[in-house]
Amino acid sequence: MSDTTGYNSLVSRDPAADLLAIAVELERAGEAGYRIRAFRRAAETVAATDPAELADRAARGTLAKLPGLGEVTARCVAESLAGEEPVYLRRLLATAGRPLDEAAEELHSALRGDCHSHSDWSDGAEPIEAMADAARALGREYLVLTDHSPRLTIARGLTAQRLEQQLAEVERLNAGYGDGFRLLSGIEVDILDDGSLDQADELLGRLDVVVASVHSKLRAPTEVMTPRMLAAVADPHTDILGHCTGRVLRRAGGGTATETRPESTFDAEAVFAACADRGVAVEINSRPDRLDPPKRLLRLAVEAGCLFAIDSDAHFSVQLDWLRFGCERAARCGVPVDRVVNTWPLDRLLAWTRRDRS
């Protein structure tokens, strides 16, 4: 690698060194090898490029056209050239100086509720009351019941009539709970092919929390999936974007996760920017067979300024304790506690879901 001291005459930071620092932190965090190699390749390119050319490209927005650089690494270089610590590096360093268990436990302790759970009304295994009782036993202040919408027939998605009946059941159960717990009405509504939501607007407007997720045509190309997701995020009823890549994992004997259903492809920067603009939370799905979004996308969502919901997506009451897996990933990726909506007290959460988004 060539000498990079020439940058000192232009800026107070060394972009190649910043890229290498990111690679080192990714290695410490156990990130995928290809991600680490991408930052190392970018560092080599930057170190071999004339500083004046880098400054010119940064001014013209063409850094990403250099061999070995992409949008993320180019943004890091531009920030470094401006004399700023790259946001990507800052997020990595936010948890590097403390034990991960400590950071994750702090986040886990801050959680007040869970915004994604299922009952035997759709594809869950236990009655609503059993799920609520388990949440109360775990010290939760609220649990959002989010059974599936009509299109997902394989999961016994709720028709409008059945959802009406479930709303009455939620009201009945809440009458028996004290001030320390509330069961919230909700839905995991399918995002249809055109980006619309799979339930009547009138019913969606009566629910406390709406999680919108893609469950069909997951292998659609980026140019199809992106506008579909953007339309769903723009829907005024959407509060949380559920398991955004739709991937499914399995763990081999050694504990290594491999994909049995690959990630959907979409313009993550555009979707997360829309979420941040609309105040829609990106779900951190805690299920061990999902762990969605992947860490690289989770960090991108942090950089975009998104809100987050760390959810269990529980289908059995014992799975409500899976939130700790999501907390570990959130801590590893530098998710700020105050941007996790289910750390908020109930009144703040409901004020957020009932906000005017017209």
Dump pLDDT digits (tens) for 294-310. Answer: 999 999 999 999 999 99
Q: What percent of the chain has pLDDT over 90?
A: 75
Structural tokens at position 355 = 């906000």
Please determine, for residue 8, whether its predicted confidence score (pLDDT) is greater than 50: no
User: Which pLDDT score is estimated for 36?
Assistant: 85
- Mean pLDDT is lowest, of 29-43, 70-84, 181-195, 271-285, for 29-43
Please determine, for residue 251, whether its predicted confidence score (pLDDT) is greater than 80: no
54: left (phi over 0), alpha (psi -120 to 50) or beta: alpha
Dump pLDDT digits (tens) for 27-56. Answer: 766 666 778 889 999 999 999 999 999 999
Residues of the chain with CATH 3.20.20.140: 100-353
Parallel, antiparallel or unpaired: strands 257-261 and 248-251 = antiparallel
What kind of fold does domain 5-96 have according to CATH? Answer: DNA polymerase; domain 1 (1.10.150)
Structural tokens at position 272 = 């997360």
Buried b (16+ CB within 10 A) or exposed e, 222-235: eeebbbbbbbbbeb
The CA distance from 352 to 269, in Å, is 23
Q: Write 201-206 long-range contacts (CB < 8 A, 24+).
A: 201/237, 203/160, 203/163, 203/164, 204/237, 205/237, 206/167
Please determine, for residue 133, whether its predicted confidence score (pLDDT) is greater than 60: yes
Q: Is the peptide bond before 293 cis (omega within 30 degrees of 0)?
A: yes
User: Which pLDDT score is estimated for 93?
Assistant: 80
Architecture of domain 100-353: Alpha-Beta Barrel (3.20)
The CA distance from 78 to 202, in Å, is 47
User: Which pLDDT score is estimated for 4?
Assistant: 36
User: Which pLDDT score is estimated for 21?
Assistant: 86
Residues of the chain with CATH 1.10.150.110: 5-96
User: Which pLDDT score is estimated for 9?
Assistant: 38
Average confidence (pLDDT) over 158-187 = 96
DSSP letter, residue 12:
S
Structural tokens at position 18 = 């910043």
The average confidence (pLDDT) of the chain is: 90
Per-residue pLDDT band at 164 (split at 50, 70, 90): very high
Q: Which is more confident, 229 or 96?
A: 229
Please determine, for residue 228, whether its predicted confidence score (pLDDT) is greater than 60: yes
User: Which pLDDT score is estimated for 92?
Assistant: 81
* Inter-CA distances, 106 with 41, 95, 285, Å: 35, 12, 18
Q: Which is more confident, 133 or 10?
A: 133
The CA distance from 54 to 117, in Å, is 49
Going by C-beta distance under 8 Å and a sequence separation of 6 or more, which residues neighbour residue 348? none
The CA distance from 317 to 126, in Å, is 7
Going by C-beta distance under 8 Å and a sequence separation of 6 or more, which residues neighbour residue 49? 66
